Structure 1
Amino acid sequence: MEQQSNFRLGVFILCALLLGAALLIGIGSGRWLQPKITLETYFNESVRGLDIGSKVRYRGVAIGEVSAITFTYTRYESDLPSTQRRQYVLVEAQLDTDILGKSNNNATEQADLDREIAKGMRVKLSPQGLTGTSYLEIDYESPKDNQPLPVNWTPEHLYIPSANSTVNQLLGSAQDLMAKFQRVDVDKTIALLNQTLTTMNSKLEDLPVKSIGRETEQLLHSVNKMPLGQIASESAALIQEVRESNLALKTLLEQPSLQHASSDFASAAFSAKQLLADPALASAVHRLDQITLRLDHLTAQRESDIQQIIDNLSSTSSNLKMLSEKANQKPSSLLFSDPPKPYTPPKP
């Protein structure tokens, strides 16, 4: 009886274990049987901190894990001499989620992926906290600053170019900074700094500090004596006058007559322009020039006659002057040829 009870207990435990295993297989079969996508990328840098099983994230979301880490020449350039091989690190990853879209073959998926690569999709090695481990981050970077590595083979799987990792960028910047510091002549810089400080000290010692202090004190005393209140009130009055002047000027400029003055001036200028552009004005000026030329020609031809007339007029004027003088002296001579005899009174 006791043996039969133990047998039943053993059968029950065995059935429970089998049922639990079946449940575990049933729950995980969906994830285990899900088709995966193989992705590969190449790094021309150290991938320290990245191991098989490291996470692959797309914009922070875990979508797979690293499945292989090797060198590209072991797969694509094994037949080339070692001097011609590229020292790229080949990293393969198995993606659980089909983020690239579903297609019938890898060629179609790669064509779709190339369009995203042209937009800047890259794989970057990112550090995970302060533990020293790293993971792969798929995100969009600047295509101009992250050009794909040159390759002379066709990838076996889907391919996304890599971008410079954040750690290497920081290390590169630090190395550039250290190189610049190394190029700086520290001893010479310190010597120049000491010389500058010595020169400044000598110049400061040569300054008449006491005299400057006395003059500054006198200046402050003079400023204290200034009627600042009066100056402030006068400044306020001046500002008020300026405001009133601006207001008067604004009132003057807003008058309708001044507003129409610009249009009247423009109209007058347009009328003057039309008058100057009128062909009749040019014709009148041309005829006036012709008349002036004719007058000059006529004057040149009659110059001798005019001179003779002027001489005759001068002679006639002289004769008239003599006649006038004679008439004043002897008026009777104008009527008689001889002057009358003197009057003799009769004798008694």
Structure 2
Amino acid sequence: MEHQSNFRLGLFILFALSLGAILLVGLGSGRWWQSKLTLETYFNESVKGLDIGSKVRYRGVAVGEVSAISFTYTRYEDELPNSQRQQYVLVEAHLDDTLFGKNAQGETQQAALNREIAKGLRVKLAPQGLTGTSYLEIDYEPAPFNQPLPFSWQPEHLYIPSTNSTVNQLIGNAQELLAKLQRVDFEKTISLLNQTLMTANQKLDEIPAKTIGQEASQLLRTINRMPLTQIASEGSLLLVEVRESNQALKALLEQTELKSASADLASAAHSAKVLLGDPALASAVHRLDAITLRLDQLSAQGDIQQIIDNLSNASSNLKSLSEKANQRPSSLLFSTQPKPYIPPQP
């Protein structure tokens, strides 16, 4: 009986272990059998803190892990002498196959990556807190910090260029600043600064501060003696007058007579334009020019002056004849003047 109970217990344990293995395989098979992408990149700096199994993040999201860390010359430049080898650190990582989406028909995954690389996609070493460990960060970097490393081989796997880590960028900027500071001639700079301060002191000493203070005090006293209240009141009255003048001008501009005057002026201008464009006016002006030209020609020939002289003489003769007719009308009929009548004497 005891032997049969142990047998059943053993069967139950085997069944439980088998069920657990089946569940474990079923739950993890999707991850185990999921296809991976192999990515490689090169660093020209220390990768201290990065180990196999370190996370790879794309814009902060975990997308894979580091699978291998070595040197580029062990794979691509093994036949070259040490003096000609690139001392780059080769880092390989396994990434999810769905990271970069599906490619266009006939396009390779590297070609799709090259488009993103042209936009600034880079891999850099990022510290993970204060523990001293690091991980790989895939992100887009601005142009000054994303210059890829030069190399002459063809990568075996997908390739994304690397960029200096944030710490190295800070160190590089600090070193560049120190180099610039070393090129600065501090003694000459301090000498020029002292000379500038001495010149400024001399110029300040030359300024008549006492006279300026007295003139400022006098100006303040003059301002205090000014009738500011009266000036303010007159200014207010002036503003009121300006406002009233503005209102009167606005009312004048809004009168219908003024508005119609502009229309009448436009109508008169249109009429004058039509009159000037009339061919009859042009013909009249042409005839007037011809008459004036003819008068000028007659005046130049002397005929007008002779006619005027003859008319003047005829007028004088007519006047003399008229006066003679008024005095002796009979002279118009008889050649000689009749004798005066003498009445007979008784």
TM-score w.r.t. the length of structure 1 is 0.69
Specify the alignment match of 1:177 in structure 2.
Answer: 177
Specify the alignment match of 2:286 in structure 1.
Answer: 289
Specify the alignment match of 1:306 in structure 2.
Answer: 304
Shift of 1:40: 0.9
The aligned runs of 1:83-102 (5 Å cut-off) are: 85-95=85-95, 98-101=98-101
Alignment-mate amino acid for residue 162 of structure 1 = S
Alignment-mate amino acid for residue 51 of structure 1 = L
Q: CA-to-partner distance for each residue in 1:143-202, whole Å, 9 max, x for gaps?
A: 686354454433211222224433343334334433443343322222222112112212
- In 2, distance between residues paired with 1:151 and 1:263? 84
Aligned with 1:37: secondary structure?
A: strand
Specify the alignment match of 1:74 in structure 2.
Answer: 74
Specify the alignment match of 2:203 in structure 1.
Answer: 203
Aligned with 2:162: secondary structure?
A: coil
Number of aligned residues: 320
Q: CA-to-partner distance for each residue in 1:75-125, whole Å, 9 max, x for gaps?
A: 22334566665454322122367423478xxx7433443444344432222
Alignment-mate amino acid for residue 313 of structure 1 = L
- In 1, distance between residues paired with 2:85 and 2:267? 85
- In 2, distance between residues paired with 1:333 and 1:271? 63
- In 2, distance between residues paired with 1:193 and 1:139? 46
Specify the alignment match of 1:158 in structure 2.
Answer: 158
Say if 2:149 is the partner of 1:140: no
- In 1, distance between residues paired with 2:306 and 2:42? 121
Shift of 1:204: 1.9
Change (3 A) 1:79 1:261: farther
Deviates more, 1:239-248 or 1:201-210: 239-248
Q: CA-to-partner distance for each residue in 1:12-56, whole Å, 9 max, x for gaps?
A: 9xx89x96xx87x9489656665543211233x313434223332
Question: 8 Å contact 2:47–2:125 — kept in the other structure?
Answer: no
Aligned with 1:137: secondary structure?
A: strand
Alignment-mate amino acid for residue 47 of structure 1 = S
Q: CA-to-partner distance for each residue in 1:296-323, whole Å, 9 max, x for gaps?
A: 1465257333222123234445656877
- In 1, distance between residues paired with 2:113 and 2:47? 27
- In 2, distance between residues paired with 1:144 and 1:256? 71
The aligned runs of 1:14-25 (5 Å cut-off) are: none
Alignment-mate amino acid for residue 49 of structure 1 = K
Aligned with 2:302: secondary structure?
A: helix
Say if 2:109 is the partner of 1:109: yes
Shift of 1:254: 4.3
- In 2, distance between residues paired with 1:275 and 1:77? 100
Change (3 A) 1:333 1:261: closer
Q: CA-to-partner distance for each residue in 1:222-250, whole Å, 9 max, x for gaps?
A: 22222222223333333333333334444
Specify the alignment match of 1:47 in structure 2.
Answer: 46
Aligned with 1:217: secondary structure?
A: helix
Alignment-mate amino acid for residue 59 of structure 1 = R
Aligned with 1:91: secondary structure?
A: strand
The aligned runs of 1:230-309 (5 Å cut-off) are: 230-255=230-255, 278=277, 280-281=278-279, 284-285=281-282, 288-289=285-286, 291-293=288-290, 295-297=292-294, 299-301=296-298, 303-309=301-307
Question: 8 Å contact 1:124–1:138 — kept in the other structure?
Answer: yes
Say if 2:189 is the partner of 1:189: yes
Shift of 1:137: 0.9
Change (3 A) 1:236 1:185: farther
Aligned with 1:99: secondary structure?
A: coil
Question: 8 Å contact 2:41–2:123 — kept in the other structure?
Answer: yes
Alignment-mate amino acid for residue 52 of structure 1 = D
- In 2, distance between residues paired with 1:217 and 1:100? 79
Q: CA RMSD in A?
A: 4.6
Question: 8 Å contact 1:40–1:160 — kept in the other structure?
Answer: yes
Aligned with 1:64: secondary structure?
A: strand
Alignment-mate amino acid for residue 220 of structure 1 = L
TM-score w.r.t. the length of structure 2 is 0.69
